Structure 1
Amino acid sequence: MSMIDGLPPLRSVIAEHGLSARKSLGQNFLLDLNLTAKIARQAGDLSACDVLEIGPGPGGLTRGLLAEGARRVLAVEKDSRCLPALAQIADAYPGRLEVLNADALEIDPMAHLTPPVRVVANLPYNVGTELLVRWLTPAFWPPFWQSLTLMFQREVAERIVAPPGGKSYGRLAILAQWRAEARIVMDLPPEAFTPAPKVRSAVVHLTARPEPLHPADPKVLSRVVATAFNQRRKMLRASLRGLAPDIEEHLRRAGIAPTDRAEQVPIEGFCALARALAEA
């Protein structure tokens, strides 16, 4: 492992500060600085951006982001044990790293960020999906972020980028792809982490669309998609019956066969159905 800066190797940092990963916090640390720098590069040119990082832990990805030229990094870390290690990084990059000892689910990061903003994070497994959904469902669009470059379990990553027709396609795929361009840009084996998880991981890069892929009211679309996939094995005329007594007519108006199942309907079809129901 080559060094990307003059700071100590991450294994030494972890030993010095007693930073054993805690399962209760969803922690799996990336110790290879070559890998963390590679993840940072997947986010593109960061020299003119503030970067939001959630769950930096001992700071492997933080160091990658700063070494790759991020204008400024806001690192939100719930585990106070990591603060001394992150303070050493802040000292090595004066004025470019701010660390918040906080729960990412409970703060407004924009109070500490200057646009344009990109989010890059090895998300704690226990809050990763919830944070993604929040970032994809703000009150106003476009959102505060230009792009999201996020580490997930491979299974979750596949759900985000899934096309219609398979078992991975569902609410998360529609939510992500309706408002962003999403693709998997890296795969990581369990042994890349300490401790090694039982599953493979992947990095997903999402770029915010200026406007959603197809017009639809977000609340109506969310309700339609949630209802359809809650009973994904049923035909839509049965699973969506509770939305409207004449649901078959609305399905046909949207170009959807009433006998289709949720996983067969592309995003455009769900948006058309949401518009038909909203008009009714």
Structure 2
Amino acid sequence: MSAIDTLPPLREVIATHGLSARKALGQNFLLDLNLTAKIARAAGDLAGSDVLEIGPGPGGLTRGLLAEGARKVLAVEKDSRCIPALEEIAAACPGRLQIIEGDALEVDPLAHLTPPIRIAANLPYNVGTELLVRWLTPKDWPPFWESLTLMFQREVAERIVAQPGGKAYGRLAVLAQWRCDARIVMSLPPGAFSPPPKVSSAVVHLTALPAPRYPANPKILQDVVARAFNQRRKMLRAALKGLGPDIEDRLLAAGIKPTDRAEVVSLEQFCALARGFEG
């Protein structure tokens, strides 16, 4: 039996440290250690990797990541109440868990991590999408991370893996699939959490590609996609008219009908359209 296995159950940890979930922090704690272990395994072979975890709370997933052999886990936690519970895990795994109390949107994890790096987290609902977009749009590619294993509301997870032609398909799908392989690897009902959220959740695993699927300038592509989906009910000739008076010609050159709407345009076509604005 490892030292991690001797730690008390999460419900006991929560009671001991008074860790009632706070809605303002987007907290919904996953207490079933079998489920947290399954999420950790979904992150792949962690042996020899550092892992960044955002919002560990009482440390259920943290335990799973360490048990699965992560070389080091860097846990970034905004809620000071959770720090003592995480320190108990650190004491059971000397030198393998570093805890930073702070806002994940403001902390630079690279100062504390050594490649190869993976990210695994039950993301707080209120910052999950913003963090994902940051990780998908770094200045340079490949990024500092090899893979992302992240829990979201089911609706957000479906938007990440969506294909053209449906309501879920949008900016997140294009950004994620341009540079990553993305798939849903787990679904979790509200009852798996404390307190139960109003919606189901899902875990998405994203593996960084060595290079984007199709060539395009990242800033131009992001601008085109944002404009297209910000007015997704409009035909693209109207939604993108701010990009220039010759937008219809540019759309046709990219193989897109000017009367099409954003949700039917493929990733390859968006990249072709973005290339048309280069130079």
Normalising by structure 2, we get a TM-score of 0.98
- Counterpart amino acid of 1:198? K
In the alignment, the residues of structure 1 paired with residue 4 and residue 91 of structure 2 have an alpha-carbon distance, to the nearest angstrom, of 16
Provide the secondary structure at the position in 2 that maps to 1:105.
coil
Report what 1:232 is aligned to: 232
- Equivalent residues of 1:163, 1:173 under 8 A apart: yes
In the alignment, the residues of structure 2 paired with residue 207 and residue 129 of structure 1 have an alpha-carbon distance, to the nearest angstrom, of 17
> How many angstroms does 1:155 deviate by?
0.2
Report what 1:127 is aligned to: 127
Report what 2:161 is aligned to: 161
In the alignment, the residues of structure 1 paired with residue 65 and residue 103 of structure 2 have an alpha-carbon distance, to the nearest angstrom, of 21
In the alignment, the residues of structure 2 paired with residue 246 and residue 87 of structure 1 have an alpha-carbon distance, to the nearest angstrom, of 60
In the alignment, the residues of structure 2 paired with residue 244 and residue 270 of structure 1 have an alpha-carbon distance, to the nearest angstrom, of 16
- Counterpart amino acid of 1:10? L
Report what 1:34 is aligned to: 34
- Equivalent residues of 2:51, 2:73 under 8 A apart: yes
Provide the secondary structure at the position in 2 that maps to 1:64.
helix
1:167-225 C-alpha deviation (Å, 9 max, x unpaired): 00000100011011100000000000000000000000000011011000011111111
- Equivalent residues of 2:4, 2:92 under 8 A apart: no
In the alignment, the residues of structure 1 paired with residue 244 and residue 269 of structure 2 have an alpha-carbon distance, to the nearest angstrom, of 17
Query: Any residues of structure 2 matched to 1:1-280 within 5 Å, and which?
Result: 5-279=5-279
In the alignment, the residues of structure 2 paired with residue 150 and residue 253 of structure 1 have an alpha-carbon distance, to the nearest angstrom, of 37
In the alignment, the residues of structure 1 paired with residue 263 and residue 255 of structure 2 have an alpha-carbon distance, to the nearest angstrom, of 15
- Counterpart amino acid of 2:17? H
1:93-132 C-alpha deviation (Å, 9 max, x unpaired): 1111000001100011000000000000000000000000
In the alignment, the residues of structure 1 paired with residue 4 and residue 111 of structure 2 have an alpha-carbon distance, to the nearest angstrom, of 30
- Equivalent residues of 2:76, 2:99 under 8 A apart: yes
Provide the secondary structure at the position in 2 that maps to 1:263.
helix
> How many angstroms does 1:4 deviate by?
6.6
1:64-94 C-alpha deviation (Å, 9 max, x unpaired): 1111111110000000100110000000011
In the alignment, the residues of structure 1 paired with residue 258 and residue 130 of structure 2 have an alpha-carbon distance, to the nearest angstrom, of 32
- Counterpart amino acid of 1:34? N
Gap runs ≥5 in structure 1: none
Provide the secondary structure at the position in 1 that maps to 2:8.
coil
> How many angstroms does 1:234 deviate by?
1.1
Gap runs ≥5 in structure 2: none
In the alignment, the residues of structure 1 paired with residue 105 and residue 182 of structure 2 have an alpha-carbon distance, to the nearest angstrom, of 23
In the alignment, the residues of structure 2 paired with residue 184 and residue 117 of structure 1 have an alpha-carbon distance, to the nearest angstrom, of 20
> How many angstroms does 1:235 deviate by?
1.0
> How many angstroms does 1:15 deviate by?
0.4
In the alignment, the residues of structure 1 paired with residue 145 and residue 92 of structure 2 have an alpha-carbon distance, to the nearest angstrom, of 26
- Equivalent residues of 2:4, 2:93 under 8 A apart: no
1:110-169 C-alpha deviation (Å, 9 max, x unpaired): 000000000000000000000000000111110000000000000000000000000000
> How many angstroms does 1:242 deviate by?
1.1
- Equivalent residues of 1:225, 1:270 under 8 A apart: yes
In the alignment, the residues of structure 2 paired with residue 17 and residue 230 of structure 1 have an alpha-carbon distance, to the nearest angstrom, of 44
Aligned residue pairs: how many?
277
- Equivalent residues of 2:121, 2:150 under 8 A apart: yes
Normalising by structure 1, we get a TM-score of 0.98
